Amino acid sequence: MAQNPLPILIGGVLQDGRGKPITSVDPAEGTPVATVAAASEEDVDLAVERAVAAQSDPAWLRMLPHVRARLLTRTAELIEARHEELAVLQSRDNGKPITETRALVASAAGTFRYVAAVLESSDERLTVPRGQYLTLSVHEPIGVVGAITPWNSPIASDAQKLAPALAGGNAVVLKPAGWAPLISLKVGEILLEAGFPPGLVSVLPGAGGTVGQRIVDHPEVGHVSFTGGTDTGRGLAASAARKLMTTSLELGGKSPTIVFDDADLDVAVNGVLYGIFSSQGQSCIAGSRLFVQRAVFDEVVARLAARADALRVGHPRDERTQMGPLITDRHRTSVEEYIGLGTAEGGKVVAGGVRPDDPALACGTYLRPTIITGVGNSSRIAQEEIFGPVLVVIPFEDEADLIAQANDTVYGLAAGVWTRDFPKAWRTARALKAGQVWINTYKQLSVATPFGGFKDSGSTREKGADAIRAYQRQKSVYVDVSGMPIPWAD
Ligand code: NAD
């Protein structure tokens, strides 16, 4: 029997959206998980109207930071209490292995806890005066902010925006990606349960070009925090510029991982495999371009190929699975086209390149981890973000050659360096044009550490002690302490 579409959260009210319904499909089985009564542009307008009312209500606007922090902490507790349910839902929604979605749920709870702590301990500043007055620098909410997120790690991306935006005293209109909207709706419900005033939060699944665009264009939306592809981010920034609105942009990547010939190869091979093939390569920070120093190139490639062939591609709810399915069949086709392009560019597939032959996986959108050698750094598969389990391996001669090749990309999100020589690791880390560099490890993240990209990977930072400030406006206040009139007017 067909289920009624799930309602969405419009300004704190669970009600049907008026847009085209969206069905989330479990990529492991090809079966529908749920259909959502998605938002329309009119629903954005209604959500913003309710958001303006809720945000300007003194009950919220004057709420002291330590009281607001309690709501954030309560949210963390509720996420933790529903940990397994949320991890399973996230896995069904986007196909990530359950071991990864558990970590994402824990990270979302950790984000709310950390931001609560930052909020309680953030000082305003007394600045140095140049006369008989006190000068203060204070921070105030922007008002209504938009948050637009992709499908690959929704609960973590949502938390990274919702927690600091709410901590900053704003209302938030969140638009998750169409392919995986379910977890964001759950997070919206949890925020209501935690006691955030109704109206303050909306979760509006819907089409990017209409619902997302309306959020960006709405005159009452004062800031948009976006995570997604570079082309989408560029268009969004252009729209934002028309109304002189600030944006936070976390965009795509084509991150280099680097193995010097003096590296501990066991550690390096593990790190490289995890860097590219966890999350099926559908990660902004996937280490998708591997540079290996010539002397160890053949050995590293042989080891990687053998280990990639042994990775367990399987059902995402199987605890042993290392790689689940890709998000959709269309996306898998796009990744396969890139593999075809790689061979057309002269590349050699040394691992994978095919779908798994296990009949139990035939209904899902699986693809074996794929390694390609024999193409240069200027090839399209080395330059374009594939967002799938495809690793391109390229040799380098020395540090100068390595830095030139690694930085020869429009992106600048992340990089990984493996070497036993610390001064060399440090030099390399500082020479790489990337927002995150890992030395002898990869894809380790802390909410206390700022995250963001260089170049076409983005321009702003999330996380860290300044996260809340991205959702606030700074104001300077001068207070006379002389008790005297300004002499000019005498
Ligand atoms: P996408 O750019 O297609 O979509 C991202 C979001 O933007 C979705 O919610 C989409 O509906 C919305 N959108 C699309 N057009 C819009 C418009 N005109 N106005 C407003 N919103 C619009 O990206 P995706 O396919 O969902 O995600 C994959 C991309 O995200 C990859 O490029 C990946 O690298 C990037 N990503 C970056 C980070 C990071 O932190 N830097 C993290 C995760 C993913």
Model confidence pLDDT, tens digit, residues 361-402: 999 999 999 999 999 999 999 999 999 999 999 999 999 999
pLDDT at residue 351, as a whole number:
98
Residue of 49, 193, 220, 250 marked catalytic:
250
Q: Which ligand 1 atom minimizes the distance to the CA of 385?
A: 32
Nearest CA residue ID for atom 18, ligand 1: 209
Nearest CA residue ID for atom 21, ligand 1: 212
When pLDDT is averaged across residues 452-459 and rounded to a whole number, the result is: 97
CB 416 within 8 A of CB 275: yes
User: Would 107 be classed as within a structural domain?
Assistant: yes
pLDDT at residue 2, as a whole number:
58
201-245 pLDDT tens trace: 999 999 999 999 999 999 999 999 999 999 999 999 999 999 999
Expressed in angstroms and rounded, the spacing between residue 66 Cα and the centre of ligand 1 is 33
User: Would 430 be classed as within a structural domain?
Assistant: yes
**Residue 137 CB contacts under 8 Å (≥ 6 apart), including other chains:** 124, 125, 127, 474, 475, 476
User: Would 80 be classed as within a structural domain?
Assistant: yes
Nearest CA residue ID for atom 40, ligand 1: 250
Same-domain check for residues 272 and 238? no
78-83: long-range contacts (C-beta < 8 A, 24 or more apart)?
Answer: 78/190, 78/193, 78/194, 79/105, 79/108, 79/109, 79/112, 79/187, 79/190, 80/106, 80/109, 82/186, 82/190, 83/109
- Please confirm, yes or no, whether 250 is among the known catalytic residues: yes
**Domain range enclosing 198:** 8-251+458-476
13-42 pLDDT tens trace: 999 999 999 999 999 999 999 999 999 999
Same-domain check for residues 218 and 111? yes
Expressed in angstroms and rounded, the spacing between residue 132 Cα and the centre of ligand 1 is 51
Is residue 315 predicted with pLDDT exceeding 70? yes
When pLDDT is averaged across residues 397-419 and rounded to a whole number, the result is: 98
Of 286, 251, 484, 301, nearest in space to 386 by CA: 286
User: Would 377 be classed as within a structural domain?
Assistant: yes
Q: Which ligand 1 atom minimizes the distance to the CA of 252?
A: 34
141-178 pLDDT tens trace: 999 999 999 999 999 999 999 999 999 999 999 999 99
pLDDT at residue 207, as a whole number:
97
Residue 158 near ligand 1, beta carbon < 6 Å: no
Distance CA 226, CA 285 (A): 16
SS3 444: coil
AA letter at 398: D
58-82 pLDDT tens trace: 999 999 999 999 999 999 999 999 9
Mutate to test the pocket of ligand 1, among 232, 248, 385, 457 (most ligand atoms within 8 A of CB): 232
CB 48 within 8 A of CB 173: yes
Find tokens 């590219």 and name the residue.
Answer: 276
Residue 388 near ligand 1, beta carbon < 6 Å: no
Expressed in angstroms and rounded, the spacing between residue 34 Cα and the centre of ligand 1 is 22
- Calculate the CA dihedral of residues 327, 332, 333, 337 and round it to 10 degrees: 130
Of 253, 191, 269, nearest in space to 11 by CA: 191
Distance CA 175, CA 177 (A): 7
* CATH number for the domain harbouring residue 274: 3.40.309.10
Over the range 303-335, which residues count as b (16 or more CB within 10 Å of their CB) and which as e? bbbebbeebebbbbbeeebbbbbbbbeebbeeb
When pLDDT is averaged across residues 278-305 and rounded to a whole number, the result is: 98
pLDDT at residue 243, as a whole number:
97
- The two three-digit tokens of residue 370, written as one number: 């794929």
Same-domain check for residues 222 and 368? no
- Calculate the CA dihedral of residues 351, 354, 359, 360 and round it to 10 degrees: 70
- End-to-end CA gap in the chain: 84
For the chain, how many structural domains are there in total?
Answer: 2
pLDDT at residue 1, as a whole number:
45
Same-domain check for residues 264 and 180? no
How far lies 277's CA from each of 274, 283, 387, 438, 463, in Å? 5, 9, 10, 17, 25
Same-domain check for residues 61 and 185? yes
Expressed in angstroms and rounded, the spacing between residue 233 Cα and the centre of ligand 1 is 7
User: Would 446 be classed as within a structural domain?
Assistant: no
Same-domain check for residues 205 and 265? no
* CATH number for the domain harbouring residue 207: 3.40.605.10
Q: What is the CA radius of gyration of the chain?
A: 24
Nearest CA residue ID for atom 42, ligand 1: 284
How far lies 385's CA from each of 37, 268, 418, in Å? 32, 23, 23
Helix axes 83-94, 65-81, angle to 10 degrees: 70
Q: Which ligand 1 atom minimizes the distance to the CA of 176?
A: 9
User: Would 335 be classed as within a structural domain?
Assistant: yes
CB 447 within 8 A of CB 107: yes
User: Would 3 be classed as within a structural domain?
Assistant: no
Same-domain check for residues 82 and 228? yes
pLDDT at residue 489, as a whole number:
87
Domain closes at, from 394, 410, 439: 439
Same-domain check for residues 153 and 276? no
Same-domain check for residues 422 and 290? yes
Q: Which ligand 1 atom minimizes the distance to the CA of 284?
A: 34
pLDDT at residue 274, as a whole number:
98
Distance CA 395, CA 293 (A): 6
394 DSSP β-pair partners: 291
Same-domain check for residues 132 and 188? yes
Same-domain check for residues 233 and 361? no
User: Would 482 be classed as within a structural domain?
Assistant: no
Helix (H) or strand (E) holding 51: helix 41-56
Q: Which ligand 1 atom minimizes the distance to the CA of 215?
A: 20
Nearest CA residue ID for atom 39, ligand 1: 250
Nearest CA residue ID for atom 16, ligand 1: 208
Expressed in angstroms and rounded, the spacing between residue 152 Cα and the centre of ligand 1 is 9
Distance CA 354, CA 361 (A): 13
Same-domain check for residues 207 and 288? no
- Average pLDDT for the chain: 97
